[in-house]
């Protein structure tokens, strides 16, 4: 460290108190094993969230959240503002990639049993963050005020309105009235740019503090080998690999945004008939497709679809409380029932998404990511063995 840098560091140390951060930098380590590659998806999700915040602030300078001006303001951004089309395309694509990496991070944590004590709150805060990420997608989908987003939002809020007892309240709370209107647009905009970011930022800080406090979890399958797990320093070894992953993610994002600019679509007309290809974003497609397969009718005074919606809610609650429910993993270091449920949940999401789009790309994408994670893990272990 140069004398100037040393004096600056000393000045900051006296004023801010950097001794705790220095201790973390000097002592923090990360386990190295055949599943280590999945650790990087948490940081990648945070990277995409940072891009979302940055591009979202730029879009706010021109976007006007009203029925009369929302569609036209985005049209202005895409045609009149310098690089406006690229900023909007990056914002839209990074939102989708953020959802994808958040799902990968959740399922990798689930299958590696990283929710075991003392990481219960780490899992719970991460699960709520995934719900908030989906909330970003749901609230942001309506903001362009195009035809597809308008009718998809009407269907989505109708589903929330079918929940027994509180459905009517939820419907009016989401829409700001009985119908999808300018009040809905203003409300979704407020959630999208103020309320959700504030809650998400608080939970991200909490999540990172908990990760730092308890460290990276080692999968029970690695602990059962009886061989001490090797570790790498967080700074600079793991951090440099993290940055390499962010650069790769940025390259994929830039290519998608430049080669496949996000379309604006036709302006919404509430009096026009619903388009035949109405559908939600891909991360809601599995649930949407499952609801479409439910036959019409009612049972014990409730619509058949309501039972499936309640089932989704129950699964979400069980997933949130998983660290408190799964005690077998604490006693025996293994939990095959949870593993089976996780694999079934992943197969449901991928399979029903493929059925909804009538395409195989969700299956190939999942297999490609799984193969990439396995190969990266094997390479990391081989490199460590070669160095030792």
Specify which residues 29 forms β-bridges with. Answer: 233
Per-residue pLDDT, averaged over 301-321, amounts to: 93
- Please give the C-alpha separations between residue 164 and each of 160, 170, 292, 302, 306, in angstroms, as whole numbers: 9, 10, 19, 8, 8
Per-residue pLDDT, averaged over 155-159, amounts to: 91
Q: CA-to-CA distance for 7 and 2, rounded, in angstroms?
A: 9
Per-residue pLDDT, averaged over 89-116, amounts to: 96
Q: CA-to-CA distance for 196 and 189, rounded, in angstroms?
A: 10
**Contact in structure between 275 and 156 (CB atoms under 8 Å):** no
Question: What percent of the chain lies above the pLDDT cut of 90?
Answer: 69
pLDDT at 6 over 90: no
Q: CA-to-CA distance for 39 and 233, rounded, in angstroms?
A: 14
Per-residue pLDDT, averaged over 333-360, amounts to: 94
DSSP string, 327-367: -HHHHHS--HHHHHHHHHHHHHHHHHHHHHHTSSHHHHHHH
Q: CA-to-CA distance for 353 and 300, rounded, in angstroms?
A: 30
Write b or e for each residue in 194-211: b if 16 or more Cβ atoms lie within 10 A of its Cβ, otherwise e: eebbeebeebbebbeebb
> What is the average pLDDT value for the chain, to the nearest integer?
91
Coil, helix or strand at residue 369:
helix
By residue count, the chain amounts to 388
Q: CA-to-CA distance for 177 and 172, rounded, in angstroms?
A: 5
Predicted confidence (pLDDT) per residue in 40-96, tens digit: 999 999 999 999 999 999 999 999 999 999 999 999 999 999 999 999 999 999 999
pLDDT at 385 over 70: no
Predicted confidence (pLDDT) per residue in 168-208, tens digit: 999 999 999 999 999 999 999 999 999 999 999 999 999 99
The pLDDT assigned to 1 comes to 66
Per-residue pLDDT, averaged over 338-360, amounts to: 95
Contacts of 182 (CB under 8 A, 6+ apart): 66, 67
The pLDDT assigned to 151 comes to 93
The pLDDT assigned to 162 comes to 86
The pLDDT assigned to 302 comes to 84
Q: CA-to-CA distance for 6 and 260, rounded, in angstroms?
A: 47
CA terminus-to-terminus distance, the chain: 29
State the burial class of residue 351 (Cβ atoms within 10 Å of its Cβ: 0-12, 13-18, 19+): middle
The pLDDT assigned to 381 comes to 72
Ranges of beta strands (E only) in the chain are 29-32, 230-233, 298-299, 302-303
Whether this prediction's pTM lies above 0.75 is answered by yes
Predicted confidence (pLDDT) per residue in 233-276, tens digit: 988 999 999 999 999 999 999 999 999 999 998 999 988 888 87
pLDDT at 217 over 80: yes
The pLDDT assigned to 22 comes to 78
- The tokens for 161 are 């309105």
How big is the chain by its Cα radius of gyration, in Å? 23
Q: CA-to-CA distance for 253 and 241, rounded, in angstroms?
A: 18
Q: CA-to-CA distance for 369 and 375, rounded, in angstroms?
A: 10
């Amino acid at each position: 460290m140069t004398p100037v840098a040393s004096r600056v560091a000393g000045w900051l140390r006296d004023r801010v108190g950097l001794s705790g951060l220095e201790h973390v930098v000097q002592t923090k380590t990360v386990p190295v094993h055949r599943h280590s590659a999945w650790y990087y998806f948490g940081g990648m999700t945070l990277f995409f969230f940072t891009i979302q915040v940055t591009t979202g602030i730029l879009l706010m300078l021109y976007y006007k959240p009203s029925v009369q001006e929302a569609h036209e303001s985005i049209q202005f951004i895409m045609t009149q503002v310098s690089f406006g089309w690229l900023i909007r395309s990056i914002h839209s694509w990074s939102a989708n990639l953020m959802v994808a990496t958040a799902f990968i991070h959740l399922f990798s944590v689930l299958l590696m049993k990283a929710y075991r004590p003392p990481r219960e709150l780490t899992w719970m805060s991460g699960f709520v963050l995934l719900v908030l990420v989906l909330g970003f997608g749901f609230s942001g989908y309506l903001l362009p005020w195009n035809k597809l987003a308008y009718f998809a939002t009407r269907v989505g809020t109708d589903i929330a309105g079918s929940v027994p007892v509180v459905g009517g309240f939820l419907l009016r709370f989401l829409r700001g009235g009985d119908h999808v209107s300018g009040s809905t647009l203003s409300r979704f905009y407020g959630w999208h740019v103020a309320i959700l970011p504030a809650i998400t930022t608080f939970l991200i800080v909490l999540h990172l503090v908990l990760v730092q406090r308890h460290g990276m979890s080692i999968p029970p399958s690695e602990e059962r080998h009886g061989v001490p797990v090797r570790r790498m320093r967080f700074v600079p070894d793991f951090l440099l690999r993290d940055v390499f992953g962010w650069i790769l993610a940025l390259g994929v994002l830039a290519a998608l945004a430049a080669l496949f600019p996000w379309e604006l679509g036709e302006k919404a007309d509430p009096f026009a008939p619903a388009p035949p290809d109405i559908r939600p974003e891909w991360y809601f497609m599995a649930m949407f497709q499952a609801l479409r397969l439910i036959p019409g009718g009612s049972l014990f005074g409730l619509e058949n679809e309501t039972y499936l919606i309640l089932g989704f809610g129950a699964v979400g609650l069980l997933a949130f409380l998983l660290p408190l429910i799964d005690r077998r993993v604490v006693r025996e270091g293994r939990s095959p029932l949870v593993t089976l449920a996780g694999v079934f949940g992943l197969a449901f999401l991928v399979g029903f998404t493929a059925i909804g789009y009538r395409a195989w790309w969700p299956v190939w994408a999942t297999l490609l990511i799984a193969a990439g994670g396995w190969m990266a893990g094997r390479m990391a272990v081989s490199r460590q063995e070669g160095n030792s």
